[in-house]
Structure 1
């Protein structure tokens, strides 16, 4: 468990708003679109994380010399 999980989110946090959204009115097609969009966002976040980890490792190696 992350320490940040216990902290309150900002009131304008888009992720908090997304999680609170009522899914009942959505059709199956709308749910499929939402899932697709969320998977795309997960891929984007994972790519950014991978870049950040690689960038940090490169910087650490540069300054170790």
Structure 2
């Protein structure tokens, strides 16, 4: 157990911020960010599909007969 509150620790800087100035980035840095964002899009799509399946199952379970 730490004597310091955990929420006071600095948060790690994200790879990319939406709307961030891109003019000072190299091609390699842009490529890395594109790959990171593609991976995040895939992760979001998977999470959405899971939530959609859960919702569909709940809707089917609670649907009124007839």
Global fold match (TM > 0.5): yes
Aligned residues: 49
| Alignment deviations for residues 31-57 of structure 1 (CA, whole Å, 9 cap, x no partner) | 000000000000000001111111000
| Alignment deviations for residues 11-37 of structure 1 (CA, whole Å, 9 cap, x no partner) | xxxxxx822211011100100000000
Corresponding residue of 1:59: 58
Corresponding residue of 1:20: 19
SS in 2 for 1:52: helix
- TM-score in terms of structure 1 length: 0.68
Q: Distance in 2 between matches of 1:46 and 1:27?
A: 29
- For CA contacts below 8 A with separation 6 or more, give which structure has more relative contact order: 2
SS in 2 for 1:20: coil
Greater helix content: 1
* 2:59 pairs with 1:44: no
- TM-score in terms of structure 2 length: 0.67
Structure 2: segments with no counterpart, 5+ residues: 1-15
Q: CA RMSD in A?
A: 1.6
